[in-house]
Structure 1
Amino acid sequence: MLMAVVHIIGTLLALTVFFFATGSVEAYRSRRRLEGVLEAAALRLGLSREQVFDRAHVDQVIRYLAHTYGTEHIANRFSDLCRALTVTLEFLSYLSQITIVAFAVWIAFTEGFSYAPVAWVALIVAACFWGLIMLTSAICYLVTGRRPGEARDARELVNNWARNN
């Protein structure tokens, strides 16, 4: 019984570490994506990075971002669709992991403790889904030149800047 508990707790700890590691990678990628959007705007408008945030140029930057990331461009719509797809994949990943661990706990305590290592399959499923999400992101980037949700994030930035200025 002790080994069954160790397998279940070990799986949960490993999934937690995996969740925080992939979350950190995604946060870094998101921050880099926003920096890339702002650097592209600065380059296109002939501004320095600091000038992008300057109130004197904010209207020019807002117009550029609104035009570049508007919903009338098919690439932006596809980027938004890819965001919805990756969020769905993440949801399915979490649902699968919870189901596998719950099943492993149930079968280990009803049929025999030797079934507890089945819980480790949840970590394999998590890695496979993360790989699928990365593949989806790469395909979206190859097709549109944008990451999933990049256009939506840029429009959100434009809306926030417009509201605050």
Structure 2
Amino acid sequence: MSSRKFLALFLLCALVPLAAAWASLRFGWFSAAPTVNHGEWLSQELRLLPAPEHGGGQWHLVYVPALEGELAERSEQALLILQQLHVGLGRKQTRVQALVLAAENPAARVRFPHVEWQAAQVSDATLQGRIVLVDPRGLALLRYAVEPGPEQAQRVAGDIRSDLLRLMNYDRSGV
């Protein structure tokens, strides 16, 4: 085989896949795979909690109640989801903290011993009335809408659990 023939075959083998990839992107033949996560990723970086000084902090499931006029039923539903998620994590619950960020301690929180309260006012409207998944460095990652009704609450809890366990498995900060 001559060197010219080899060079032509080599270029053909290299350029045909590149041209096919370019054509599939250019003409819309490529469809992106569905996302694996169930929550809604935040579009901007938001530090919801202070970063731990010594590193290796906990994951947080944070409920941010709406500032005004939120239904008590929805707030109680969110607390129930946080309680069930924390208890359902089993041996991994030491790595996760369920938390409510509100100006005042919700009265319904008394019935949910695994959910803690921290005095804070979150002014970001995109997080109000939602459960937020926060990484060990304090960055808010995913948010989930709290919907009334036991079927919807069960679906939301399953979505949060799935995303949380996946992220905890991929996390290397505690290693």
Q: Which band: TM-score by shorter chain? A: under 0.3
Bigger relative contact order, structure 1 or 2, given CA contacts below 8 A and separation 6+? 1
- TM superposition score normalised by structure 1: 0.27
Higher gyration radius (CA):
2
- Normalized per residue, the structure richer in strand is 2
- Normalized per residue, the structure richer in helix is 1
